[in-house]
Structure 1
């Protein structure tokens, strides 16, 4: 499980660990991890390469300076641009002793000036406020195009919120080296997009960290949660998922919802809906049957004007229900706790009566607000999909790729989550496991190129099989 903690949680864990270590030992652990990450980025042939440290007044600046000293001893040309008059004294001394240099005015510029091979962002630590001072923003702007390695988090982002400052001044890293645990900004968009590739350096915090503020499932976690048939299983005991989706106007939405549900993780799929869609389902999914008892429903994709009626019919059965698309407009606040609501940013904006841009700027805050208002699990679709439980738990999906932003992909996801709920997973687990599998299937189907929603649905059984094989080879 990849875990993310708040600044307060990290600070408390660091204090507990430092009480058991010699003074400065924790910063040295972080600095050495940072230095080796820079060496890996520049390899092969690191000798003589130019590294510029952007150094602020906090501990991140100290980490950067001590890392610079390690790099200077390895033969790299290291310069620290001190952006504050309160730079870490021990770090400055260590860098100079190792042969590095410092400047308060920035590197030499002009036609003959050499640009650094890499910039290390040690401007603002995790305790800083979002945004940058003008001098720091100008320094970053002048170095645009040079690979940037952020210390802990990109300077200027909202560490505990995953948000970006309103004025837009923040670092955008190619690589972020973080220490002890991930922070929310590494997982939650839009700050996650500014973090680049995140590498975690173990500095010994694990025994002192509390329950995380958010987590991201990994392959082993998904394997542990995936439902498996018992030795005496039959199709009914494995779970029956019902799909009420699609219409004469939008038959594809119903067909793709059925395709997601027909991934093999539930024992049976039932389709109830428009005759046009029913004929398409019968033709392409002959294993799907009609009306009858189910353990979970999937409702809303492509339902159009019939969404209110199909939602009411599904809810009348009293089983977990995945509510998507058109049906989201008819969900009652503070109603059923066994629902999974699956909006994208625009749909969530309508549910909360705010502008879409506001949701996109603060997705975690608004997903939490919706989970609290509606009293049920909310799956907010996006580059890093969020699954939020009304009790405060958060999971972030880190599988997937930009090609997954394609018409009908959300219909497939709804069907998949419904199948997992019918197979016995609690709504929170069904949503987060379904989102993980959906992203992994897209990656496998894509192979670096474009995909359709149908490609994702067809890849789901293979991905589930691969996950199960990794856990029980």
Structure 2
């Protein structure tokens, strides 16, 4: 699992580390790692570092210093290195002296041709988008051409310039990177929000910061080995009951498809049995003969978790279903109509009385109705606040789905795709999440696992053409199938 820390925590850790090393040692560590990765990129793309034309875009402060020191190292490897100083009177003096001593030069205009651009305009202390002069430079970069006729790759120093580091927002003009070389630890903008895709590939340079990151991370990014470790696997004495039974209370006369989609998602999970309770029972059992069906939650029999809400409707019958589900002493995941039924406060008592885990899976519109405001630029903090207020695990859907817990932990999914913004895909996610809960996976791990596999399925379905919910359900893998190359 990867972790990202907020700027204040990074600054505190850096100060503690700098007290233990000679002055300037930290910047030299960062510059050395940055130069190595730039040289590797040049060799991969052009077959050489020697003679490659490299431009440093240098802002004020330490970020510009990192770029200048890295440029000096590239110059000593034989690259032709130029620096364009956006604020010449505030450029890092030591870094500029090192570049000049190595044979680098300062320019005042963009060269006509380049092999690599090093973005050292702004670092983690910056706020807002790029200033006008920097924005104009960024707009002109795509016009440049490298020796192979393509656009020169952009390497960001620590973070792409112009992004909001703590939130992942892009409040103005930002400079997209092909590669971001970050120092010490990940930052939220590299993994969450609209800033994350602008980072390109992210590589981490170890500068010795880990022992000094004493606060918890702002957000964590589970990876496939984590998902695989959380996935329940039946033992030799397993039965359908010991593997967990998931109840699915979704769909209605107007939306029978929601029942079919959520059941499809549940069947792809680790539970040993799926029980469907609702008005679409005949359609469900026709499509999926292995599913046990009932007309109501009360008649469904025992389950270890409930998935509820997709296509349920907003009337009295839907409210009765939700009340029955919330009264069950088992984990519950609520989606779609079930979330909307919570808005008027009529279920406040039922929610307060619950002791078993609850997971809410809103998209932005449902979140706004539940929270009384839209998620805003800081989606992690917004999800954390709703989780604390509702005492529920919150899965805030999006291209980078966020999972937040009442205890204050936050996770972001790395497999999402905009192609999942299609009717019914959330129904599939609801069923899969319910099956994970029924299989005994804790709420946060179940939510992020479901999001991870759902995103993987979305990407897989996308390769075959326009994405439909049924295509996503059919493409749902298990972690083991991904690891084995069959998922």
Distance 2:472 2:369 in 1: 28
Aligned equivalent of 1:153, options 147, 150, 159:
159
Alpha-carbon deviation of 1:327? 1.0
Instruction: State whether residues 440 and 463 of structure 1, in contact with CA within 8 Å, keep that contact through their aligned partners in structure 2.
Output: no
Instruction: State whether residues 228 and 480 of structure 2, in contact with CA within 8 Å, keep that contact through their aligned partners in structure 1.
Output: no
Aligned equivalent of 2:388, options 345, 369, 372:
372
Q: Tell me the equivalent position of 1:389.
A: 405
Describe the SS at the equivalent of 2:375. helix
Single out whichever of 53-62 and 230-239 deviates more from structure 2: 230-239
Distance 1:386 1:7 in 2: 19
Q: CA offsets per residue over residues 50-77 of structure 1, 9 Å max, x none?
A: 2211111111111111111122222222
Aligned equivalent of 1:351, options 348, 370, 381:
370
Q: Tell me the equivalent position of 1:138.
A: 136
Distance 2:255 2:61 in 1: 56
Establish whether residue 410 from structure 1 lines up as the match of residue 429 from structure 2: no
Correspondence 1:95-106 to 2 at 5 A: 95-103=99-107, 105-106=108-109
Describe the SS at the equivalent of 2:127. coil
Instruction: State whether residues 308 and 335 of structure 2, in contact with CA within 8 Å, keep that contact through their aligned partners in structure 1.
Output: yes
Distance 1:200 1:448 in 2: 34
Describe the SS at the equivalent of 1:37. helix
Alpha-carbon deviation of 1:467? 5.4
Correspondence 1:16-31 to 2 at 5 A: 16-31=16-31
Distance 1:448 1:181 in 2: 37
Alpha-carbon deviation of 1:465? 2.8
Single out whichever of 311-320 and 402-411 deviates more from structure 2: 402-411
Distance 1:404 1:360 in 2: 21
- Structure 2, unaligned stretches of length 5 or more? 144-150, 294-299
TM-score (norm. length: structure 1)? 0.90
Q: Tell me the equivalent position of 1:54.
A: 57
Distance 1:15 1:2 in 2: 23
Instruction: State whether residues 282 and 288 of structure 1, in contact with CA within 8 Å, keep that contact through their aligned partners in structure 2.
Output: yes
Establish whether residue 317 from structure 1 lines up as the match of residue 324 from structure 2: no
Q: Tell me the equivalent position of 2:313.
A: 304
Q: Tell me the equivalent position of 1:328.
A: 339
Describe the SS at the equivalent of 1:53. strand
Aligned equivalent of 1:67, options 41, 62, 70:
70
Q: Tell me the equivalent position of 1:341.
A: 360
Shift in alpha-carbon separation, 1:264–1:341, aligned structure 2, 3 A: closer
Aligned equivalent of 2:478, options 460, 463, 471:
463
Distance 2:360 2:474 in 1: 24
Describe the SS at the equivalent of 1:224. helix
Single out whichever of 328-337 and 427-436 deviates more from structure 2: 328-337
TM-score (norm. length: structure 2)? 0.88
Distance 1:74 1:142 in 2: 28
Establish whether residue 91 from structure 1 lines up as the match of residue 91 from structure 2: no
Q: CA offsets per residue over residues 173-193 of structure 1, 9 Å max, x none?
A: 232111121111111102213
Instruction: State whether residues 262 and 428 of structure 2, in contact with CA within 8 Å, keep that contact through their aligned partners in structure 1.
Output: yes
Alpha-carbon deviation of 1:316? 1.7
Alpha-carbon deviation of 1:258? 0.3
Single out whichever of 210-219 and 362-371 deviates more from structure 2: 362-371
Instruction: State whether residues 245 and 257 of structure 1, in contact with CA within 8 Å, keep that contact through their aligned partners in structure 2.
Output: yes
Describe the SS at the equivalent of 1:439. helix
Q: Tell me the equivalent position of 1:126.
A: 124
Q: CA offsets per residue over residues 320-361 of structure 1, 9 Å max, x none?
A: 11110111012246734621110111211222233xxx5364
Establish whether residue 231 from structure 1 lines up as the match of residue 236 from structure 2: yes
Establish whether residue 81 from structure 1 lines up as the match of residue 96 from structure 2: no
Distance 2:257 2:200 in 1: 36
Q: Tell me the equivalent position of 2:200.
A: 196
Distance 1:309 1:118 in 2: 62
Instruction: State whether residues 227 and 479 of structure 2, in contact with CA within 8 Å, keep that contact through their aligned partners in structure 1.
Output: no
Q: CA offsets per residue over residues 377-429 of structure 1, 9 Å max, x none?
A: 11011111000112211000001333333322111111011001111122111
Instruction: Count how many residue pairs are aligned between Structure 1 and Structure 2.
Output: 456
Q: Tell me the equivalent position of 1:111.
A: none
